[in-house]
Structure 1
Amino acid sequence: MTVEIFIPCFVDQLYPQVAFNMVKVLEKVGCKVSYNTNQTCCGQPAFNAGFWGESKDVCSKFMKDFAGADYIVAPSASCVGFVRNYYPKLFDTAANHKEVVALGQRTFELSDFLINVLKIDDVGASFNGKATYHDSCAGLRECNIKKEPRQLLSKVKGLELVEMQDVETCCGFGGTFAVKFEPISIAMADQKITNATDTKAEYLISTDMSCLMHIDGRNKHNNAGLQVMHLADVLASGW
């Protein structure tokens, strides 16, 4: 199976190891991975900031870059959720609306793809430690991902997974929300960190580096002692 990968802007610029580890996992389970170097952004930042026209231009480029791909996999439920849920709204009166909807149906977050497309939940990973998992808003509410990452993590040898209180509550990032409503955003991140540390977990895992980036900023500021890890980093460990 050939899989086209989409690498979000902030992963490309700040957390490239997440992308490399996703490729490592996909190849381990038998996928042929293809990376289109012309790819840029999915268009979400401009859309969230209210620049719908500019966002639509970026979305059109995304559709061109991934035209003909059987499957598109990304290490970000946020980007996947945007492609699936908001592309059809941006192009609701366009002649290619059916193609836009079909593109969303071929676009998957990593855990969703592994569990629901490949039907694989054990990639042979091992990671010694105690961890808790954060449900990103995009993963939970836009991609309907809940059990998938937990099922994958349950198969990681040596990993103890514990649930934190209010696990489905937002971390406070929300893209531009963190800029426009900084005090509220900080308080939400601090509450998330408190809930995570109350479990005595050493690691906080999620499908979205955007959430983890925000949480880790407050984590380091408060010297809370948590280590944040993307799901792909855990799944690529121990082999």
Structure 2
Amino acid sequence: MPETQATQPHVGLFATCLMNVFRPNIGFATVQLLERAGCRVSAPQQQTCCGQPAYSAGDDDAARALARQLIAQFEPYDYIVAPSGSCMGTVHKYPEMLRDDPEWGPRAKALAAKAFELFTFLTQVRKVNIDARYEGTFTYHDSCSGLRQLGVKQQPRELLSSVTGLSVSEMDDAEVCCGFGGSFCVKYPAISEKMVDDKIRSIEASGADTLLGGDLGCLMNMAGRLRRKGSKVRVWHAAEVLAGATDGAAIGEEEAR
């Protein structure tokens, strides 16, 4: 029987900071994909940062405060889903961050159990069929947090294999860091620049005309470097391609429009 609104899973969309500020189109694409997967989608208005920058900087008190706020916002939903392995990886750290808190520790564990990166949710929870078209050849960058913390590797490729007109040409070192690393690129700019230049060479050597990925920070880093190098490779979040939301400017092209 088809699901009714009353029986559809209610998903809380975690609108990550970078997406909210720099690339709302990813959020709109995510909502489309979730709704096509038979979900009701809401975006809690009081949600804030997941706490990753504070946690990475060693400000545990600030990170825990942000974690508690996010837990409270998303507890009412059947699932919490984000188009970012980096942010969702942080949510999965909440049980450890709050392990000594008798109230929030169990709540953190319960939220982490229903928290999913978008492509994992679509393939493993909802088992969707993709109906989209994109003419081109893509290469895929595996972001560090999604890959190593959440095991996001085959899920986006499985979904992209169903996109009409799209073929794949895997780059060498697809699993190697692009050099963004949140505050890493600010603290160690010379090392970060070398890493992204190595990544750009791998992208260009693949022969692909399109770079896809699942974390906006990485994609912005690589898109900016590609443009500065005069590359014609276009950069999209994979959710945008899967949703058919590629009519506008690609990542890194916004300022030219």
TM-score (structure 2 length as normaliser) = 0.89
Q: Note if 1:42 corresponds to 2:50.
A: yes
Q: Deviations over 1:122-159 (max 9, x none)?
A: 22011110110000001110111111000001011100
Q: Of 95, 102, 117, which residue of structure 1 is paired with 2:125?
A: 117
SS of residue matched to 1:73: strand
User: Does the CA contact (< 8 Å) of 1:125 and 1:238 recur in 2?
Assistant: no
Query: How far does residue 225 in structure 1 lie from its aligned partner after superposition?
Result: 1.9
Q: Distance in 1 between matches of 2:231 and 2:100?
A: 49
CA, structure 1 residues 156+68, in 2 after alignment: closer, same or farther (shift >3 Å)? Answer: same
User: Does the CA contact (< 8 Å) of 1:131 and 1:203 recur in 2?
Assistant: yes
Query: How far does residue 29 in structure 1 lie from its aligned partner after superposition?
Result: 1.9
Q: Distance in 1 between matches of 2:37 and 2:240?
A: 15
User: Does the CA contact (< 8 Å) of 2:83 and 2:118 recur in 1?
Assistant: yes
Partner letter of residue 22 of structure 1? Answer: T
Q: Distance in 2 between matches of 1:123 and 1:160?
A: 15
Query: How far does residue 54 in structure 1 lie from its aligned partner after superposition?
Result: 1.1
User: Does the CA contact (< 8 Å) of 1:8 and 1:79 recur in 2?
Assistant: yes
Greater relative CO, 1 or 2 (CA 8 Å, sep 6+)? 1
- How does 1:155-194 map onto structure 2 within 5 Å? 155-194=162-201
User: Does the CA contact (< 8 Å) of 1:131 and 1:205 recur in 2?
Assistant: yes
Name the % identity: 41
Q: Of 226, 231, 254, which residue of structure 2 is paired with 1:219?
A: 226
User: Does the CA contact (< 8 Å) of 1:127 and 1:238 recur in 2?
Assistant: no
Paired position in structure 2 for 1:199: 206
Paired position in structure 2 for 1:60: 68
Q: Deviations over 1:180-215 (max 9, x none)?
A: 111111111111111011111111000111100111
Unpaired runs of 5+ residues, structure 2, are 1-8, 247-257
Let me know the Cα RMSD of the aligned residues: 1.3
Partner letter of residue 89 of structure 2? Answer: G
Q: Distance in 2 between matches of 1:225 and 1:183?
A: 24
Q: Note if 1:80 corresponds to 2:102.
A: no
Q: Distance in 1 between matches of 2:197 and 2:225?
A: 7
Paired position in structure 1 for 2:255: none
Unpaired runs of 5+ residues, structure 1, are none
Partner letter of residue 104 of structure 1? Answer: A
User: Does the CA contact (< 8 Å) of 2:29 and 2:245 recur in 1?
Assistant: no
User: Does the CA contact (< 8 Å) of 1:28 and 1:123 recur in 2?
Assistant: no
SS of residue matched to 2:46: coil
Q: Note if 1:26 corresponds to 2:73.
A: no
Query: How far does residue 222 in structure 1 lie from its aligned partner after superposition?
Result: 1.1
Runs of 4+ in 1 over 4 A off after TM superposition: none
Tell me whether 46-55 or 156-165 shows the greater mean CA deviation.
Answer: 46-55
SS of residue matched to 1:65: helix
Partner letter of residue 40 of structure 2? Answer: K
Q: Note if 1:98 corresponds to 2:101.
A: no
Q: Distance in 2 between matches of 1:10 and 1:29?
A: 25
TM-score (structure 1 length as normaliser) = 0.96
